[in-house]
Structure 1
């Protein structure tokens, strides 16, 4: 087995390095969430951290690695023989994306528990991670209930397995580290808050640093063991510093002045609850110990705020986490000014600002100045012209005016979106089996409610106790029951069939032609689509967006879990030109066909935003109707948002909804208090 990549050999990444080391010094900080683009060494650093942590003493024969100095009195493997002790390295347990709840918490053999009265328990990943590191790659792709379960265990330090009155509990204290790529979707704010610290990482834009990264990686790939040997001494020094800081931590004092600064900063950024204050206090204390001090200084509070608050500040769903440095400095200065005693750390504070020393680089190591963030974004999306021919303010549905034209008319400037609002729930009819979410009805193995009992098709997961007893009761005399115990056979067992909610693929098909802009409706249309995007974000849906104008339809946003990208594309959407409605619907058909191959269990919901007009030739409207019937034949659930306005209305959007086999709703009826009729219709169809 090749040697792991050394922690100290990673170039740059100062904030991530510091956050991981602070959690190693004080696991009570609450773990680290690492946000960043792909290929930024997130996983490499996390996996390397475990090698720096000191080995632990564990009770011999205990599957839960109980500490012999303080064994868990409720350990399922107890009581322990404390005379047998083993030394073992700190474990790194990785959680795969497709993991099940039973694999995380462990599984209980319910058949043996009921029939034999024994607790046959197989520990899960939480037990394996006890006193070690639990690493969750792509944590934003885990089902919400699994993330809740993991964070609850991390907060309480214990894991519980409950199955029909049979309980098993064991200790589960670990350093929790999660990584995610924001382009693949965000975590809910409630889950973000449960991570102690968060760090944004990005590949450095400095050619010298990038060259050093490549040089070291190539050297490691060529000779992993030799490369690790060259970095062995810096690794030992850093491991020793962690041990020293852990020993110093209990001696660090948090003065009233420092505590007042912490609470003032949290109040200034209007964070919800008090978890941020507690995390900041623990982080500042760990920073002081890491720097060899027994007193928390202003620089510790400043750095703790930059690590603990960005993901907790109040923000809109589509805003990236971040912190206003000027606001932070104002809060620190004001809270320091209220203290009648002089500031103990003075003007310079005795250490570098914005990250503190990390002790991670060897002599002659990689650059560490300033961090690797670089420019915050890639190139802007420049929507295409689309070949529009309508003049600004003129409807493309009308014949061109008589005056000569000098050439193609460019699209109108992108209209700003109106303020978003809460929309009513749009659902896909029927019952699905897709990923856990909050939109449409679905059969599920977790969450939801029990609707009936059934014979298990595989291993028994969720026992339906009443149905099991009812199935076994008529056979007790024939089986010779002679005591209080119930005589059960395999065929008697019944499991719960549960119904919950699933997430869907919401595909927006947005009309951006001249007819939508002629009556100044695009601002309202964008506000409506933005509101639906926010609803999709909250319901954990995937989203995609197709726009059509001029002579073509464009897949502006391929199906993704990152609704923030959809909001950005919507904001930049220009209007103008003719209305190739059929092209938009055919592009939707092809997009859904390909997505069905990638994720066959995720059901789509088509949201068509248009006034129903189609231009571009005498067959434009018949072609659009045929395309709509093609989607209906594929069983695609659809809602048409009717954007037609004015005293004279043609009702083309409602007619198109009929061809789609869906429902039409007026643009001004999308708000939560005005969609009752449509929801009732969808519910009738689902029944």
Structure 2
């Protein structure tokens, strides 16, 4: 039994965004970002139970609407009048992160298509979600090829399944709802823009509110049926209000003043394209309908901006979502003044009535920012979703190591201290670093691999269900046996053993592990700024190529894992920005820590190949014979088959060439900071492969 939507405590922006999509599916869905354990999935599943029932044609697996059936429906043709129409609840269809392509779009029986000439099609999740809700938990972890399919379906309102010239098309219009934990990685910009609204959620810090959350959850777990019955009246009120708002929606008027405010806001925040303007207009209209009004007010436009723009104003993956509310208010006020001055003196125009000067609120509920679906908001309104503080940085506040050495600075009184964190230099477009050989890891954009997508390089017998048919190889395998099988007509007589699937080569994602020297020899602010800028550039490249990233730093007396391997490059950038420097250079400790991290990751994900990026000047100090220890640690990594690149940070007219010696021990290639730029490197990838 689903937890009641009305029983949710707090999370006003989340509840409002979900309700607005229930009122107007044209808003375009919602992306819920937040830490784990904040009722993201609970809220999504709960709101689906409040959606109005949909009419369907009996026997149609694609949920065609009576009276306006899809003329290309695979189960058609349907009666023009929609005879025998029935009602059923709107579906909530969940897309697992590890779903296959056939599970998402449907499977076509190629064997029957070739042998019998029939389109035996088994619908997928997109067909099931038509006219309902498609919910993707952990949407940021969804494989790229599934993201591409979602983008196509969302853009066209239809799904196409094509296998070797045999194609099926069906309607696929759905409300896309996704939840994600930003610590685990960000979304591709193309998919991010497909979500109409976004909200940031976090656990309340108010004791009373947290107590109420626990109390209600325990009561629900003890007796779900009794708990649902207790909240049934409130659920019915919300369901009725959604239905009334849907009926009122066509009558809501979006005046010129509101449109001018929407356009001015999108221009002021420099969002890309025109989708933001359209989404804001639809959201403001839905807000007015939810409040029981037929006129869009300035407060509706403001709330729409807070929900529709934060995820669209990001200029790069490291920008936190959010809006400057002071700037938003100034923009809205300026647009309102311009609309008033453009109108004729004394005229009672639509612009004046829509500007928000007078606030008609017939329900007395304070508008969409006042009462939530289950009563008055505790904080008095739906404020802007604010970016949450990043997780505590294990390295940022750590005490400095107490090793003694010539590169250690001392505070007055003789107490050693670390250098303050240097800001990162401006990132640049980095040259592509790849792992040599042919892998079989998760689909991505870095190294060569056998994948489900890509160019065809051969054929093989399918080990399980047939994926991508290799038609020529299949015909070639079946051709010698046609006479023996009694073929008498134009059809091809096939057997299961004749089928061949295509072997494809594409790109995979990798684990890029950065090992960064943060010792005193790197402490010069200009040098460390350049180093951070280079690593930041490589992190940005890793984000674009869908890699996992990790960060190991070494200084003082040892090394630490500043960032365990994760898909969140935002977390990596945050750790890098706060990275302090100072102390000796325990190079061997850094390499051994990297070896341990990679060993554990191989056990967790053996198909994901690592790429080690060591950023250092090659110096090694501290302990007996630190240079020899570093060389042995490097050879240990080389023996494990780890592909590596050494970024040589040594500067000045006299160079010792220590980073080059380290690269030789690692079986890697050494490059300078300048050579990492895409416009200055001509053969880095070839050098990495040759060194391997």
**Higher mean displacement: 475-484 or 50-59:** 475-484
> Is 1:13–2:26 an aligned residue pair?
no
1:612 aligned counterpart, secondary structure: coil
Q: How far does residue 84 in structure 1 lie from its aligned partner after superposition?
A: 2.8
C-alpha contact (below 8 Å) 1:30/1:175 kept by paired residues: yes
C-alpha contact (below 8 Å) 1:18/1:358 kept by paired residues: no
Separation (CA, whole Å) in 2 of partners of 1:483 and 1:677:
57
Separation (CA, whole Å) in 1 of partners of 2:94 and 2:357:
44
For each residue in 1:344-382, what CA deviation from the matched residue of structure 2 results, as whole angstroms up to 9, or x when unmatched?
Answer: 1443534688952454115xx884535697993255653
Q: How far does residue 71 in structure 1 lie from its aligned partner after superposition?
A: 1.8
For each residue in 1:110-163, what CA deviation from the matched residue of structure 2 results, as whole angstroms up to 9, or x when unmatched?
Answer: 011011101111111111112221111000000122123123323322111111
Q: 1:602 to 1:551 in 2, by over 3 A?
A: same
Separation (CA, whole Å) in 2 of partners of 1:487 and 1:641:
60
Separation (CA, whole Å) in 2 of partners of 1:353 and 1:86:
39
For each residue in 1:271-319, what CA deviation from the matched residue of structure 2 results, as whole angstroms up to 9, or x when unmatched?
Answer: 1111111111111121122122222222221111111111111423201
C-alpha contact (below 8 Å) 2:370/2:381 kept by paired residues: no
Separation (CA, whole Å) in 2 of partners of 1:10 and 1:636:
49
Separation (CA, whole Å) in 2 of partners of 1:92 and 1:315:
33
User: Which residue does the alignment assign to 2:450?
Assistant: 443
From 676, 681, 684, the counterpart of 1:675: 681
Q: 1:408 to 1:44 in 2, by over 3 A?
A: same
Separation (CA, whole Å) in 2 of partners of 1:139 and 1:432:
25
> Is 1:139–2:101 an aligned residue pair?
no
Separation (CA, whole Å) in 1 of partners of 2:224 and 2:496:
52
Separation (CA, whole Å) in 2 of partners of 1:528 and 1:361:
50
C-alpha contact (below 8 Å) 1:543/1:559 kept by paired residues: yes
C-alpha contact (below 8 Å) 2:587/2:620 kept by paired residues: yes
Separation (CA, whole Å) in 1 of partners of 2:386 and 2:64:
45
Unaligned runs of 5+ in 2: 344-350
1:455-604 aligned at under 5 Å gives the runs 455-518=461-524, 520-604=526-610
2:680 aligned counterpart, secondary structure: coil
**Higher mean displacement: 341-350 or 503-512:** 341-350
For each residue in 1:408-439, what CA deviation from the matched residue of structure 2 results, as whole angstroms up to 9, or x when unmatched?
Answer: 51111111111111110001111111112111
> Is 1:62–2:71 an aligned residue pair?
no
2:87 aligned counterpart, secondary structure: strand
From 658, 662, 667, the counterpart of 2:664: 658
C-alpha contact (below 8 Å) 2:667/2:691 kept by paired residues: no
1:439 aligned counterpart, secondary structure: strand
> Is 1:75–2:73 an aligned residue pair?
yes
User: Which residue does the alignment assign to 1:425?
Assistant: 432
User: Which residue does the alignment assign to 1:265?
Assistant: 265
Q: Give the TM-score taking structure 1 as reference length.
A: 0.94
C-alpha contact (below 8 Å) 1:13/1:371 kept by paired residues: no
C-alpha contact (below 8 Å) 1:30/1:155 kept by paired residues: no
User: Which residue does the alignment assign to 1:219?
Assistant: 219
Separation (CA, whole Å) in 1 of partners of 2:487 and 2:379:
75
Separation (CA, whole Å) in 2 of partners of 1:313 and 1:349:
30
1:22-421 aligned at under 5 Å gives the runs 22-80=20-78, 82-339=82-339, 340-341=342-343, 343-344=352-353, 345-347=355-357, 349-350=359-360, 356-362=369-375, 367=378, 369-370=380-381, 376-377=388-389, 379=392, 381=394, 382-389=396-403, 395=407, 407-421=414-428
Q: How many residues align?
A: 674
Q: 1:319 to 1:166 in 2, by over 3 A?
A: same
Q: 1:299 to 1:526 in 2, by over 3 A?
A: same
For each residue in 1:167-217, what CA deviation from the matched residue of structure 2 results, as whole angstroms up to 9, or x when unmatched?
Answer: 111122222110000000000222111111111111111111111111111
**Higher mean displacement: 654-663 or 490-499:** 490-499
**Higher mean displacement: 473-482 or 196-205:** 473-482
1:613 aligned counterpart, secondary structure: coil
**Higher mean displacement: 178-187 or 256-265:** 256-265
For each residue in 1:634-683, what CA deviation from the matched residue of structure 2 results, as whole angstroms up to 9, or x when unmatched?
Answer: 11111011111222222111111111111111122111122223222224
Q: 1:158 to 1:208 in 2, by over 3 A?
A: same
C-alpha contact (below 8 Å) 1:14/1:355 kept by paired residues: no
C-alpha contact (below 8 Å) 2:95/2:134 kept by paired residues: yes
1:618-633 aligned at under 5 Å gives the runs 618-633=624-639
Separation (CA, whole Å) in 1 of partners of 2:204 and 2:381:
10
- Quote the RMSD (CA, aligned, Å): 2.3
Separation (CA, whole Å) in 1 of partners of 2:289 and 2:382:
23
Separation (CA, whole Å) in 2 of partners of 1:137 and 1:467:
39
For each residue in 1:208-255, what CA deviation from the matched residue of structure 2 results, as whole angstroms up to 9, or x when unmatched?
Answer: 111111111111111211111111011111101111111111222222
C-alpha contact (below 8 Å) 1:104/1:125 kept by paired residues: yes
Q: Give the TM-score taking structure 2 as reference length.
A: 0.93
2:608 aligned counterpart, secondary structure: coil
Unaligned runs of 5+ in 1: none
